[in-house]
A and B are shown apart, each in its own frame.
Chain A
Amino acid sequence: MSATIHDSDVAAPHAIDLETETVRGLNAVLHGIGRETNQGYWRVLNPRGRHAIAVGLAAPIQIDIDGHVGYYCAGMNQQAHVVIHGNAGVGVAENMMSGFVHVKGDASQAAGATAHGGTLVIDGNAGARCGISMKGVDIIVKGSIGHMSAFMAQAGALTVLGDAGEALGDSIYEAHLYVRGAVASLGADCVVKVMRDEHKAELFEKLKRAGVDGQVDVSDFKRYGSARTLYHFHIDNASSY
């Protein structure tokens, strides 16, 4: 599966309607698809905010979900390319390992939480705690993100074209944060960092992956990351906690 966004303009040979099929039935079918599959494209109809849609996928398939989804859509995703044509509830693509998840609308809190890999693109805004404890995922939010985003973020990159809420990157480890708009406040141990050429190149690649290269200028972004002053507990830092 290429790491580019596929719109759902291809005829779907496999469609599952959640008005007549259960989420359990949907996931069971999707889990039954082998990693060497030729059943590459699936469409999910009438999700109507149901939870745990398309979770635990482990095959290079594309899934288009026609509508809003509830909690944990595409949770723990491996390899699959999931497009949500609507809004996503809490924890979209949580703990994703690989693959690509694209939310066409807004995402609720904890988007991409603890995710180890893959790419999460959110066209709209994301709520609080976007990228919390992220461990290697690439998250690109075209709108703004809520408070406490990238809390204890360990690795990966969070790119935000809009603004960031309060306490961005609190207690951050080694994740990279790029924000184009205003940041309400930085969390403990999160600081503005110099945007060197290598970072601009990294950011450009992420914008390209989200399909907005050429539309925004990497020079408009600021880079944030860890000051690493809290890496070893010291009593003189107690007021930071």
Chain B
Amino acid sequence: MTDTPRTPPRKSATFDDYTLAEIRRAAATGIYDIRGAGAKRKVPHFDDLLFLGASISRYPLEGYRERCGTEVTLGARFAKKPIHLKIPITIAGMSFGSLSGNAKEALGRGASAMGTSTTTGDGGMTPEERGHSTALVYQYLPSRYGMNPDDLRKADAIEVVIGQGAKPGGGGMLLGQKISPRVARMRTLPEGIDQRSACRHPDWTGPDDLEIKIEELREITDWEKPIYVKVGAARPYYDTALAAKSGADVVVLDGMQGGTAATQEVFIENVGLPILSAIRPAVQALQDLGLHRKVQLIVSGGVRNGADVAKALALGADAVSIGTAALVALGDNDPALEAEYQALGSTAGAYDDWHEGRDPAGITTQDPLLTGRLDPIAAGRRLANYLAVLTLETQTIARACGKSHVHNLEPEDLVALTIEAAAMARVPLAGTSWIPGVTGQI
């Protein structure tokens, strides 16, 4: 008598271990999971694109010898004082409150060293970031925490935030642990309470109102400041067209991989578009209006290296913005802190409980003992180094494609490795002339 052969236990692809754990966590707590960072699910991304490089019909430029420009001007459409950046990589909006004062200072130091801009966030402008940022973009958010005309005049540009990629259509919540006396004072709220950031602006709705709001901001600042409009990637063609129609100098488009300080996991992972799918529709909108390169497009959400930068530019963006990658450059999720991440129930590379204010790297916290760990000078140096590498990598690819300026990269330089990426980026599937949804056949 032999044993009946048995199949090994099989776990469900639908109810995998993570899903089961989340069901149990929800059942135990009765509250959804809140975390920081952006979408972690795998989505079509820049990795699914390749550059073709030069060949018989395309001449490359000599590396380290022949010039490949990286400078970008933002806001020349209407602003008397447009921003001139040396590199097409900016630092995304992140608030003092969600980040420590030292982290904001480090971002300013790193960005300024490389001739680029940094951006405030919900909660107003701090002297640290203004003082250490040669170009500072001041966000104009629904909450208007800390918003005042004096800081508006000190800014180099104004960014009207409609949404962000991690949560298009969502507001924010800064939990009480991070509402220190200083944060509370800046936001005119009691210390230690959970603090909501509204999802809609309080005094305008829709594109017609937005046009009037932009006019007001221009009037207040005597038409000096470039005005950006930031949207989460949701309906990129129409959002970009409406922002441009409303008078924006610059449109900022943030994909679902873009980070957040604190948002529901279900929101981060299930709302919005991967940035790869959003760039071409946005560029198309500007082209249809005759405004491509006149209204600049900044894209963000999952930009990690110079290849990502080059691909974003080749698809038609004027610049990119980095947030999560900049925090990692400062020291976020460093394996050197593994023991402390484990003590928090996480591990280096996965730590995303930024809302809890216990970040051992001293970046996403207001705890003085933790914030003191981050040396803003050293961290700023690391960010500058990282930005330099991104720039060199972008130039390397651009030169290989024969471009004397990174803005000369174009969709024709790209192919896609997957049908999905080909359809989203509107470039041919590698080895074919097929662009799904554009050309009829392989």
> Out of B152, B196, B203, B213, which one reaches A171, CB within 8 Å?
B196
Cross-chain contact A76 with B148 (CB below 8 angstroms): yes
Cross-chain contact B216 with A72 (CB below 8 angstroms): yes
Q: Taking A113-B202, A235-B30 as contacts, is the C-beta distance between A133 and B144 under 8 angstroms? A: yes
Is the CB of B438 closer than 8 A to any CB of chain A? no
Q: Taking A24-B219, A154-B189, A231-B193 as contacts, is the C-beta distance between A76 and B149 under 8 angstroms? A: yes
> Out of A51, A95, A233, which one reaches B148, CB within 8 Å?
A95
Q: Taking A52-B215, A75-B220, A152-B196 as contacts, is the C-beta distance between A173 and B203 under 8 angstroms? A: no
Closest to A109 in B: B203
Which residues of the other chain, A, contact B31 by a CB distance below 8 angstroms? 233, 235
Is the CB of B133 closer than 8 A to any CB of chain A? no
Which residues of the other chain, A, contact B204 by a CB distance below 8 angstroms? 71, 90-91, 110
Which residues of the other chain, A, contact B223 by a CB distance below 8 angstroms? 24
Q: Taking A72-B212, A171-B196, A174-B190 as contacts, is the C-beta distance between A78 and B219 under 8 angstroms? A: no
Q: Taking A24-B219, A110-B202 as contacts, is the C-beta distance between A71 and B212 under 8 angstroms? A: yes
Cross-chain contact B219 with A23 (CB below 8 angstroms): yes
Cross-chain contact A114 with B148 (CB below 8 angstroms): no
Q: Of residues 201 to 232 in A, which have CB atoms within 8 Å of B's CB atoms?
A: 231-232
Closest to A23 in B: B219
> Out of B30, B143, B187, B216, which one reaches A55, CB within 8 Å?
B216
Q: Could you give, for residues 81-98 of chain A, a 1 whenever the CB lies within 8 Å of some chain B CB and a 0 otherwise? A: 000000000110011010
CA distance A31 to B213 in the complex (A): 19
Is the CB of B260 closer than 8 A to any CB of chain A? no
A232 to chain B, nearest CB (A): 5
Q: How many residues of A contact B (CB 8 A)?
A: 42
Which residues of the other chain, B, contact A232 by a CB distance below 8 angstroms? 176, 193-194
Cross-chain contact A72 with B190 (CB below 8 angstroms): no
Q: Could you give, for residues 157-191 of chain A, a 1 whenever the CB lies within 8 Å of some chain B CB and a 0 otherwise? A: 00000000000000101100000000000000000
Is the CB of B147 closer than 8 A to any CB of chain A? yes
Is the CB of B90 closer than 8 A to any CB of chain A? no
Which residues of the other chain, B, contact A192 by a CB distance below 8 angstroms? none
Q: How many residues of B contact A (CB 8 A)?
A: 34
Q: Of residues 19 to 55 in B, which have CB atoms within 8 Å of A's CB atoms?
A: 29-31
Is the CB of A70 closer than 8 A to any CB of chain B? yes
Which residues of the other chain, A, contact B222 by a CB distance below 8 angstroms? 27-28, 31
Give the secondary structure class of B's interface.
loop
Cross-chain contact A135 with B188 (CB below 8 angstroms): yes
Cross-chain contact B144 with A114 (CB below 8 angstroms): yes
CA distance A228 to B190 in the complex (A): 11
Cross-chain contact B190 with A76 (CB below 8 angstroms): no
Which residues of the other chain, A, contact B30 by a CB distance below 8 angstroms? 235
Closest to B143 in A: A133
Q: Of residues 76 to 133 in A, which have CB atoms within 8 Å of B's CB atoms?
A: 76, 78, 90-91, 94-95, 97, 109-110, 113-114, 116, 129, 132-133
CA distance A97 to B147 in the complex (A): 10
Which residues of the other chain, A, contact B193 by a CB distance below 8 angstroms? 173, 231-232
Closest to B187 in A: A154
B288 to chain A, nearest CB (A): 27
Which residues of the other chain, B, contact A109 by a CB distance below 8 angstroms? 203
Q: Taking A24-B223, A27-B222 as contacts, is the C-beta distance between A58 and B190 under 8 angstroms? A: no
CA distance A152 to B143 in the complex (A): 9
Cross-chain contact A94 with B203 (CB below 8 angstroms): yes
Which residues of the other chain, A, contact B203 by a CB distance below 8 angstroms? 72, 90-91, 94, 109-110, 113-114, 129, 132
Q: Taking A95-B148, A132-B203, A235-B31 as contacts, is the C-beta distance between A52 and B219 under 8 angstroms? A: yes
> Out of A55, A91, A114, A151, which one reaches B220, CB within 8 Å?
A55
Which residues of the other chain, B, contact A135 by a CB distance below 8 angstroms? 144, 188
Cross-chain contact B189 with A173 (CB below 8 angstroms): yes
A118 to chain B, nearest CB (A): 12
CA distance A116 to B188 in the complex (A): 9
Which of B144, B148, B202, B223 has the most chain A CB within a 10 Å cutoff? B202
CA distance A204 to B140 in the complex (A): 35
Is the CB of A145 closer than 8 A to any CB of chain B? no
Which residues of the other chain, B, contact A154 by a CB distance below 8 angstroms? 187-189
CA distance A151 to B202 in the complex (A): 9
> Out of A70, A78, A133, A174, which one reaches B212, CB within 8 Å?
A70
- Give chain B's interface residues, CB within 8 Å of chain A: 29-31, 143-144, 147-150, 152, 173, 175-176, 187-190, 193-194, 196, 198, 202-204, 209, 212-213, 215-216, 219-223
Further contacts, 10 of them, CB under 8 A, given A23-B219, A97-B149, A116-B188: A71-B213, A75-B216, A76-B220, A132-B203, A133-B143, A151-B202, A174-B190, A231-B190, A235-B29, A235-B30
7 contacting pairs across A/B (C-beta < 8 A): A51-B216, A71-B213, A76-B220, A90-B203, A91-B203, A113-B203, A154-B188
Closest 8 CB pairs of A and B: A56-B220, A91-B203, A110-B203, A114-B144, A231-B193, A76-B149, A113-B203, A132-B202
